[in-house]
Chain A
Amino acid sequence: MAARYGLRTIALGYLALVLVIPCAMIVQRTFQDGLGPVWDALTDPSFVHALRLTLIAVAIAVPANTIFGVACAMVLVRRRPRGTPLMTAAIGLPLALSPVVVGLSLVLVYGKQGWVGGWFVDHGFPIIFSTPGIVLATIFVTLPFVVREVVPVLREVGIDEDEAAWTLGASKAQTFWRITLPAIRWGVAYGVVLTTARALGEYGAVAVVSGRLAGQTETLTIHVDEQYLRFNEVAAYTTALVLALLAVLTLVCMNVFKPRHKEAPRGDRNPPGDEAL
Chain B
Amino acid sequence: MGIAIRQVTKRFDDFVAIDSVSLAIPTGSLTALLGPSGSGKSTLLRVIAGLEQPDEGDVSIEGEESTALPPQERGVGFVFQHYAAFKHMTVRDNIAFGLSIRRRPRQEIRERVEELLALVQLNGLGERYPSQLSGGQRQRMALARALAVEPRVLLLDEPFGALDARVRKDLRAWLRRLHDDVHVTTVLVTHDQEEAMDVADRIVLMNEGRIEQSGKPRDLYEHPANEFVMSFVGPVNRLGGTWVRPHDLELRLEPNGITREAMVQRVVHLGFEVRVELLLQDGRTASSQVTRDEAEQLELREGQIVFVRPSRTTTFAKA
Which residues of A pack against B, CB within 8 Å? 160-161, 163-171, 174, 178-179, 182-183, 259, 261-265, 268, 270-271, 274-277
Contacts and interface: CB of A to CB of B under 8 A. Distances in A.
Contact of B84 (A164, A270, A274): A164
Given A183-B87, A274-B137, A167 B129 contact: no
B101 A277 contact: no
B171 A167 contact: no
A264 B136 CA distance: 15
Given A168-B145, A263-B87, A277 B129 contact: no
B105 to A, nearest CB: 16
Contact of B131 (A163, A183, A265): A265
Given A167-B78, A170-B101, 18 more contacts: A160-B82, A161-B85, A164-B84, A165-B86, A165-B97, A167-B72, A168-B101, A169-B101, A261-B129, A262-B129, A263-B129, A268-B82, A270-B133, A271-B131, A271-B134, A277-B136, A277-B170, A277-B174
A163 B71 contact: yes
A166 B136 contact: no
Nearest to A274: B134
Contacts, number: 100
Mostly, the A contact residues are loop
B50 to A, nearest CB: 8
17 contacts: A161-B85, A163-B84, A164-B78, A164-B86, A165-B86, A165-B97, A166-B72, A167-B50, A167-B71, A168-B98, A169-B72, A182-B88, A183-B87, A263-B88, A276-B170, A277-B136, A277-B167
A169 B78 CA distance: 11
Interface in B143-190: 145-146, 148-149, 162, 166-167, 170-171, 174
Contacts of A171: 72
Contacts of A268: 82, 135, 162
B72 A264 contact: no
